[in-house]
Amino acid sequence: MELLRIRLEKLLKEAVKTIKPDFEDWNRLVLQPATDEKFGDYQTNFAMTASKIFRQPPKMIAESVISAIPANDILEKAEVAGPGFINFFMKNSFVAETVRKTFTEKWDFSHINTDGTVVIDYSSPNIAKPMHVGHLRTTIIGDSIKRIMNFIGYNVVADNHLGDWGTQFGKLIVAYNRWLDKENFEKDPIAELERLYIKFGDEAGKDTDLDELARTELKKVQDGDEKNMALWKKFVEITLAECKKIYDYLGVNFDTYYGESFYHPLMPKVINELVEKGLAVESEGALVVFFDEKENLHPCIVRKKDGAFLYATSDLATIKYKYENYKMNKALYVTDDRQAVHFKQIFNIAERAGWKMEFVHIPFGVLSFNGEILKTRAGNTIKLADLFKEAESKGLSVVEEKNPELPEDEKKKIAKAVGIGALKYSDLSQNRTSNIDFSWEKALSFDGNTAPYLQYSYARVQSIKRKAAEKGVTIDFNSEIRIESGIERSIAASIAKFPECVEKAAELYKPNFIADHIFDLVQKFGTFYNSTPILKAEPEKMQSRLLLAEAVARTIKTGLDLLGIEAPEKM
């Protein structure tokens, strides 16, 4: 089903064509959602931007466009406003019918170019170190963006660019050789690796030679030393298995785990290509790419004096690999904003190397907990496992309060959906570029823009349906939705315009647009529910209201799903 905006756009194009058959400059025809319901559904400033071409005052153009709109069952009326805006009011029957069609038809986004592949790189932790809350934002935001891009119809590859080749492995090998507790390692390998990692940090503080030793051990891995390679492999397996448990728990999936090590063999070729193309030049023994002055970027080292490759080299190899192995549409990277310069550098180099695709760095701000920023070194990291446990217990307290009579195992499932949902939502409902401060009180509140509030509204509709079934009433999807009040109109319009908010979220890589839309819908639904009888209404009205409630529930569910959040049937 075509988006409302697209339907209206087509009508307007026809109107413009009748008054000016040779008109082609369609970029000027932009429909914006109305800022307030009293101005209708959409607005355009077309008459103002086209005034020069038409050689007429905007108001006159607006009027002739309106009168040239062909007969249709979409528009109730169109009005000239202010200096020449046109406000469009859609028919209630059209909006209602659109809502009803959402039960059976998929939204059509074919006006967006979704050819080729979108690779989205997120989470991408440096493994062999414990995964902590620092990795949470990229994982949650990346997963949501992946879902949003899929919804639009892109072919998305989710890639976890594991940091599986860095200095941490050298440190771990030194610690393993010196301080391994064998028994502990057999019982709980991940705990022992964590202990060794911390132990190394403590010891390196006292003995400065240890860091040098770690570098030597790492170099041995990179040169293919058998014993160190075997250790490296073991560490990767153990820590990756641990990461995968976390992803499973969060409902996050990846298609590829091409870590830095995967690209290592490709790097010499990448370097050669950069040298051949005149991009990388020697400077004090290293290979460096310089930038045009206007880019305002400091030079990027792609190979060190000692021959070692760097983070940038690995990313360049990744891009070349994508360029050669996928028909690329976009390459997306979700990391915190401190990596912005790194990505500017490598995107610039890749473009000059001719590896064509659209590059987007999707940055986000800092996450703090009750005002405290977590740093690994300061020793105040929260382990993800502990955070999840807390989420579940907080979720459980919500369920105990709302629904104490549910069976235990059901309570547990809901507790997880609520707790983890609250955690994800408190991130995704905010503009990702802001720094966010997390607090359980805020995240679990039922009054504000929170996951439990949305989940509860979804569950409420399910409960209405159960009550209806007890009365022998089932929803008849063929019956008509009749808009009989302002609030019903407002709810129906919100449902019918939902895909446009997904479109916007995809365009700007901002899941908070979806959160905002769903929250607004849920508030409207609250007003409707408190003022309008559903099951006590006469049969025809009851069907219409049930259908509207069902459409609200499905929109909430879709919205939450795009944020990677579950919607339990009961709460």
**67 to each of 28, 33, 59, 399, 434, how far by Cα in Å?**
19, 21, 12, 57, 46
- The region, left, alpha or beta by phi > 0 then psi within -120 to 50, assigned to residue 160 is beta
Measured from the CB atom, the residue of 359 and 425 that comes closer to ligand ARG is: 359
Calculate the alpha carbon distances from 289 to 119, 277, 299, 307 in Å: 25, 11, 6, 15
Question: In the bound complex, what is the minimum distance in angstroms from residue 266's beta carbon to ligand ARG?
Answer: 14
Q: If you ran DSSP here, which 8-state letter would residue 379 be given?
A: T
Name the segment binding ligand ARG (CB under 6 A); options: 90-98, 123-131, 231-239, 407-415: 123-131
Binding of residue 313 to ligand ARG (CB under 6 A): no
Distance CA 552, CA 461 (A): 8
- Mark the segment that binds ligand ARG (CB under 6 A) among 70-78, 119-127, 469-477, 542-550: 119-127
Under the criterion CB under 6 A, does residue 143 sit at the interface with ligand ARG? no
Q: Choose which of 5, 46, 65, 121 interacts with ligand ARG (CB under 6 A).
A: 121
Among 102, 144, 168, 335, binds ligand ARG (CB under 6 A): 335
When asked if residue 124 is in the footprint of ligand ARG (CB under 6 A), the reply is yes
CB of 381 to ligand ARG, least distance (A): 14
- Show the site string, 157-176: x = touches ligand ARG by CB under 6 A, - = not: ----x-x-------------
Residue 239 binds to ligand ARG (criterion: CB under 6 A): no
| Amino acid, res. 513 | F
User: Minimum distance from CB of 219 to ligand ARG (Å)?
Assistant: 20
State the pairing for strand pair 372-373/367-369: antiparallel
> Which residues lie below 8 Å from residue 501, measured CB to CB, with a gap of 6+?
513, 514, 516, 517
Contact status, residue 39 vs residue 87, Cβ threshold 8 Å:
yes
Is residue 261 a contact residue for ligand ARG (CB under 6 A)? no
**Residue 125 interacts with ligand ARG (CB under 6 A)?**
yes
Least distance CB 316 / ligand ARG (angstroms):
10
Structure-block tokens of residue 549: 């409630």
CB closer to ligand ARG, 89 vs 321: 321
Q: Is residue 126 near ligand ARG by the rule CB under 6 A?
A: yes
* One character per residue 176-215, x = contact with ligand ARG (rule: CB under 6 A): ----------------------------------------
Least gap, CB of 565 to ligand ARG (angstroms): 24
Of 57-65, 121-129, 244-252, 270-278, which part binds ligand ARG (CB under 6 A)?
121-129
Q: Is residue 363 a contact residue for ligand ARG (CB under 6 A)?
A: no
Least distance to ligand ARG from the beta carbon of 125, Å?
Answer: 6
Q: How far is the CB of 332 from ligand ARG (least distance, A)?
A: 10
Which C-beta is closer to ligand ARG: that of 217 or that of 315? 315
Cβ proximity to ligand ARG: between 98 and 139 the closer is 139
Task: Please say which residue, 335 or 462, places its beta carbon nearer to ligand ARG.
Answer: 335
| Contact flag: residue 84 with ligand ARG (CB under 6 A) | no
Among the listed ranges 36-44, 94-102, 124-132, 362-370, the one in contact with ligand ARG (CB under 6 A) is 124-132
Name the residue nearer to ligand ARG (CB basis): 76 or 337: 337
Rg of the Cα atoms in the chain: 28
Is the Cβ of residue 2 or residue 336 nearer to ligand ARG in the bound state? 336
Instruction: Give the DSSP letter string of 461-522.
Output: HHHHHHHHHHTT----TTSPP---SHHHHHHHHHHHTHHHHHHHHHHHT-THHHHHHHHHHH
Q: Which is nearer to ligand ARG, 125 or 419 (CB)?
A: 125
Taking the complex as a whole, the smallest distance from the CB of residue 347 to ligand ARG amounts, in Å, to 11
At position 505, the amino acid (one-letter code) is: A
CB of 365 to ligand ARG, least distance (A): 15
**Among residues 281, 286, 296, 275, which one has the least CA distance to residue 344?**
296
Residue 315 is a binding residue for ligand ARG (CB under 6 A): yes
- What's the sign of the alpha-carbon dihedral 103, 104, 106, 107? negative
In angstroms, the CA 130 to CA 133 distance is 10
The upper half-sphere exposure of residue 255, i.e. CA atoms within 13 Å in the direction of its Cβ, equals 11
Size of residue set near ligand ARG by CB under 6 A: 10
Rounded (10°) angle between helices 226-250 and 167-179? 110
| C-alpha dihedral sign at 220, 221, 226, 231 | positive
498 close to 558: Cβ distance less than 8 angstroms? yes
What is the closest distance, in whole angstroms, from the C-beta atom of residue 336 to ligand ARG in the complex? 8
Determine the interface stretch with ligand ARG among 91-99, 117-125, 226-234, 466-474 (rule: CB under 6 A).
Answer: 117-125
Site string for ligand ARG, 390-429 (x = CB under 6 A): ----------------------------------------
* DSSP E strand boundaries for 60-159: 75-81, 85-90, 117-121, 155-159
The candidate with the shortest Cα–Cα distance to 249, out of 432, 455, 419, is 419
Rounded to whole angstroms, the Cα distance separating 159 from 117 reads: 12
On whether the CB atoms of residues 368 and 374 are closer than 8 A, the answer is: yes
Contact residues: ligand ARG, CB under 6 A: 121, 124-126, 161, 163, 315, 318, 333, 335
